[in-house]
Each structure stands twice: as C-alpha cells, then as structure tokens.
Amino acid sequence: MLPYTEGVYGTKMSMPSFDGGLSPADSPPAQVYWPGFTGVSYGRSLVKFVVGYCGIVNLHTHVNAAEWNTVISGSGQVSYYQANTGDNPQVVVMNVKKGDTFVFPRGTVHWWVNYSPNEQLVTVGGFTAAFPDTAILGSLFMKTQSFFSVINDAVLGQGFKPSSYSTDLFPLLPNRYPSGCGGTTPCTACY
C-alpha cells in the first residue's frame, strides 16, 4: 500500500502514482489502483456514469470527497482546476479511454466532455464519502445573477448571462448535428 498523503487531495488516502489505466492481467485490480476504497475512513460510495453522445458533465465540485473513475466504455476528455496551488493554479486535462483510471481531488472544480457522436462514455467509480456534496457551478452563476448580478458582472464580465442549461448536471454540446441528437440519440457530429 502507498503511504498516506495529505494536501491538494484533502483526504488521508493512498493515491496511485499514475493516472493511466489497468491491463486485463490486473483483474481484480490491487487496492492501490482504486483510491476511493483505499485508506479512506468512514464511508465511500460507488457510482456508474453514462455521458451521452456529444455530452458533458457540467462544471461541479465535491467539497467533502475526492472522486475516482475507471472508463469501461468509450473515450473522452476530463479536466479539473487544481486547488491549493498558490499563485499558479493550473487546469489539468486528460484524454481518457477504456481502461484508464482518473482521480479528481477533493474540492476541485471538474468536468467531462464526450466528443463522440456515436459512442457513450461510461465509467464506474466512486467517492471518498458515502454522500458526496455536489455543487454545480452553473447553478451558482444562475443564483448569483438573479440576486447579486454585480458579482457576475465584476467576475465573469459585464452582461454575462448563464445558459438555460447551466443547472443541468449532464448538458449536451451546443453545436451537435443534426438538431435533436445527443444524449441517448447518436449524432453525426458534436461540433
């Protein structure tokens, strides 16, 4: 087992030393490759995500849990905005495919994109908390716009208007073709 780590991840848990996938020879995978179940105290949860054709998992964060996922079908791009990096925050972008495992550190804003018009991105994963709090940033922007629009103007730009889909956890890419496709209906193109 890897040593416990603290800091950016915000939880006492073993973290894999890589963000890549597992080979079929690693079945079942060693505990260290499944950080949601390794060295975590007081609860964890398991989840399956299906990101539809030309789909997105909206910008969101879990203030009480790290999240991990292994791709079991499809491919896509996952990203997160690093927390606690001082004056040099960075966006981490990973292109993932079947077999890859990725981790979003606790408290980081993260999102996923499935650019495929004809294959859904499916993962199995979990959280380091039994009931992870989820805050969708689009919802924050909508509420801020309605109650404190001066904040959105100052931070996001004068006249910023959140999308009508900004509160959806699984919105679709806006330029998919033909119209009406996406989600569970295959498309010809996503952008």
pLDDT mean over 148-158: 85
Q: How far is CA 184 from CA 53, 60, 77, 173, in A?
A: 6, 22, 19, 13
| Highest mean pLDDT out of 24-33, 44-53, 116-125 | 116-125
Average pLDDT over residues 165-181: 88
The parent domain of residue 21 ranges over 1-133+174-191
CA distance 85 to 23: 32
- Beta-strand ranges (E) seen in the chain are 45-51, 56-61, 67-73, 75-81, 91-97, 101-104, 109-113, 121-127, 135-136
Mean pLDDT on 123-150: 85
Answer yes or no: do 96 and 185 share one domain: yes
Other Cβ atoms less than 10 A from the Cβ of 97: the count is 13
CATH number at residue 87: 2.60.120.10
Total number of domains in the chain: 2
Q: Are residues 129 and 139 in the same domain?
A: no
- The pTM (predicted TM-score) of the whole model is 0.73
pLDDT at 43: 56
Domain shared by 94 and 150, yes or no = no
Q: Nearest Cα to 114, choosing from 48, 51, 59?
A: 51
